[in-house]
Amino acid sequence: MTIPFDLNRKLQEAAADPEALRRAVAGAHIVPLLMSYVHLTGDRSYLPIVRPYVHGGWDYQQSIPRELQEAIRTDLVAAIERLARKGGAVHREPSREELKEMIDTACGADVPEMYLPIFYEETCFGGRDYRAFSWTRPVPDEDREQCPVLIVGAGFSGLAMAVRLKQAGIPFTILEKNDEVGGTWYENRYPGVGVDTPCHFYSFSLLPNPEWPDYFSKGSEILAYLKRIACQFGVRERIRFNEEVVSARYDEARARWIVTSRGADGAAHTYEAKVLVSAVGILNRPRIPQIPGIERFRGPLFHSARWPERLDLAGKKVVLVGTGASAIQIGPAIVEQVSSLTVVQRSRHWIIRHPMYHEAVPEAVRWASRHIPYYLDWFRFQLFWAASDGFYDTLRIDPNWPDLDHSLNAANAKMREELIAYARSELGERLDLLERVIPEYPPFGKRMLRDNGWYRMLCRSNVELVEGAVERIEEGGLVVGGRTIPADVIVMATGFDAHRILAPMDIRGRGGKAIRDLWGDDDPRAHLGITVPGFPQLLHPLWAQYQSRPWRKRFLPQRMSGSLHLRCAPTNDRGGLG
């Protein structure tokens, strides 16, 4: 299966409505437009002129002089109309030298050569799926049938694996504990739930989506996208819903995995597979601290990932425990409904502003993404670079840096000062809050959070920030630092058991050895992040392995499995969605 793309059809569609074409080109981002022009025509004359004006992947057009922008837009429209009149163009792929110059211009940086292979794959160049499966030699159908695969989980990774297996003609079954696809995006339905990574990047390279309504879309849009993946690629019929895997045992004599699941009715089911793929993710097992008296609370008390349907918070005293990625979305989303909101903060987090976080995608950008060849590929590429390795230099530890407890190098120190200045500007007159929200550790020591109006929320008259751990819970509230805080509702935004990967499944490999005996509760490891010695044909991507000091995680260029490129980040102690 390949991504449907017809260059000449796109050209004809774009040229068929000249007014729409001009409106889209006038309103779309200039750098992807320039790359579309270069890609279509091979004319690189604009690249050295534009290069000095681009300052990183987020700088779409702000620095490029208006006259230069207008010249590029005019030439792109003329090129599309000219090629359409000629009957079309031949799809071409830039040479290595040409691609390097285009990438350097789009990023505003001298991108190392080592990245070029992954960028060839990631851009897809108008629909070619560089990761589409193809056999190097003919393989009889009966041989493929001898290698059944069992996938656990129907979230992003499970669906990606299923698509590739279907391309390869290898039989597979997906076991999904929920009654729908989506994984964490199905389970988390709290107010304000959404991505903090741009959607055009937070999506499959095998099916980019030109129709995202917002640059940072909400959970319902992500879930709808995953449902479309399951249906469009024909893998939904291979999913067994409402079956949770309980155990998996490797039968050495037969080289098979024997997997036991439990249905919604409690009935046990057994499966055999040559290959077992865990795609269960790490954000699906809510973590609620063992707080004394938790069972005594009279009102609703729940984890953010288990938000009750039709919960009415109007006029209620709400306590939000946690200040991580989920909490920072929940708080501003409910603050206007409640009578009071008390935020219990055990640890502080760096919060960064993104100018597009609350912006809808303009129709001009959506039109360009649908109809202008290569525009979406290059727009997605810019996001890919800016949201991942584009900030790599800020994360390198300078061994001679005098203050490694607060920053890692000069660039990291500069970012720290910018983050503090932003917090100060948002807090306004409430500078008493500043020292209570600024972390001691360096930026990116824990997951960087997107500001969802959090600082301004803290300044509201019905909001109070309380620092410390919850000591106990009582019938009418909870106790922090010896102080009783009254509550009608308690929301536990306390993250997930992200370290206990594969729990609570009982997985046993050669000799009956349990994977928990090998990993313990918080030390998962695997060869290349995929395979575990002693557990043959068990595949699982471990997305983050980092050292004890949280900011000493090794950031390396990565190719995530299943063609889904999501930059891994250290989990924080309060969890949250990405």
Q: Is 566 domain-assigned?
A: no
Within this chain, do residues 304 and 270 fall inside the same structural domain, yes or no? no
* pLDDT score, position 544: 31
Number of structural domains in the chain: 3
Q: Is 576 domain-assigned?
A: no
d(CA 90, CA 39): 11
d(CA 531, CA 333): 41
569: confidence class by pLDDT, cuts 50, 70, 90? very low
Q: Is 169 domain-assigned?
A: yes
Within this chain, do residues 223 and 302 fall inside the same structural domain, yes or no? no
Closest alpha carbon to 258 in 244, 240, 271, 246: 271
565: confidence class by pLDDT, cuts 50, 70, 90? very low
Within this chain, do residues 416 and 455 fall inside the same structural domain, yes or no? yes
Within this chain, do residues 13 and 115 fall inside the same structural domain, yes or no? yes
Within this chain, do residues 346 and 364 fall inside the same structural domain, yes or no? no
d(CA 413, CA 430): 24
Within this chain, do residues 127 and 33 fall inside the same structural domain, yes or no? yes
Mean pLDDT estimate for the chain: 88
| Range in 126-130, 185-189, 245-249, 315-319 with the lowest mean pLDDT | 126-130
| Range in 140-149, 186-195, 266-275 with the lowest mean pLDDT | 140-149
Q: Is 318 domain-assigned?
A: yes
Over residues 105-143, the pLDDT tens digits come to 998 889 888 888 888 777 777 667 777 778 888 888 888
d(CA 550, CA 289): 21
Locate 224 and state its tokens. Answer: 């709808």
- Quick check: 566 pLDDT over 90? no
Whether cis (ω within 30° of 0) applies to the bond prior to 443 is: no
* pLDDT score, position 501: 85
At position 94, the amino acid (one-letter code) is P
Q: Is 550 domain-assigned?
A: no
| Range in 390-399, 439-448, 498-507, 568-577 with the lowest mean pLDDT | 568-577
Q: Which residue has the tokens 């699982």?
A: 540
Helix/strand/coil for 273:
strand
Within this chain, do residues 22 and 115 fall inside the same structural domain, yes or no? yes
- Cα of 112 vs its chain's centroid, Å: 24
* pLDDT score, position 5: 61
* pLDDT score, position 62: 63
List Cβ neighbours of 144 (8 Å cut-off, separation of 6 or more).
168, 169, 170, 171
Over residues 429-474, the pLDDT tens digits come to 999 999 999 999 999 998 899 999 999 999 999 999 999 999 999 9
Per-range mean pLDDT, top range of 57-71, 150-164, 518-532: 150-164
Q: Domain with 303 in it: what CATH number?
A: 3.50.50.60
Locate 376 and state its tokens. Answer: 């979406």
546: confidence class by pLDDT, cuts 50, 70, 90? very low
d(CA 84, CA 12): 5
* pLDDT score, position 126: 67
Q: Is 35 domain-assigned?
A: yes
Q: Is 398 domain-assigned?
A: no
Within this chain, do residues 519 and 463 fall inside the same structural domain, yes or no? no
* pTM for this model (two decimals): 0.89
Locate 460 and state its tokens. Answer: 């509201």
| Range in 29-38, 135-144, 301-310 with the lowest mean pLDDT | 135-144
Percent helix, strand, coil in the chain, to 5, is 35, 15, 50
Burial class (CB in 10 A: 0-12, 13-18, 19+), 321: buried
At position 243, the amino acid (one-letter code) is E
Mean pLDDT of 240-258: 97
Within this chain, do residues 340 and 363 fall inside the same structural domain, yes or no? no
Q: Taking the chain, what is the end-to-end CA distance rounded to the nearest angstrom?
A: 29
What is the domain extent for residue 522? 147-281+502-539
Contact 375, 368 (CB under 8 A): yes
CA of 457: how far to CAs of 83, 103, 217, 469, in Å?
52, 39, 21, 21
Q: Is 554 domain-assigned?
A: no
Whether cis (ω within 30° of 0) applies to the bond prior to 504 is: yes
List Cβ neighbours of 474 (8 Å cut-off, separation of 6 or more).
293, 296, 297, 484
Locate 325 and state its tokens. Answer: 């990625």
Within this chain, do residues 434 and 372 fall inside the same structural domain, yes or no? no
Over residues 189-234, the pLDDT tens digits come to 999 999 999 999 899 888 889 999 999 999 999 999 999 999 999 9
Within this chain, do residues 306 and 181 fall inside the same structural domain, yes or no? no
Closest alpha carbon to 459 in 496, 427, 486, 490: 427
Mean pLDDT of 62-76: 93
- Quick check: 172 pLDDT over 90? yes
* pLDDT score, position 553: 32
573: confidence class by pLDDT, cuts 50, 70, 90? very low
At position 110, the amino acid (one-letter code) is D
d(CA 12, CA 89): 10
Mean pLDDT of 172-185: 97
Within this chain, do residues 520 and 431 fall inside the same structural domain, yes or no? no
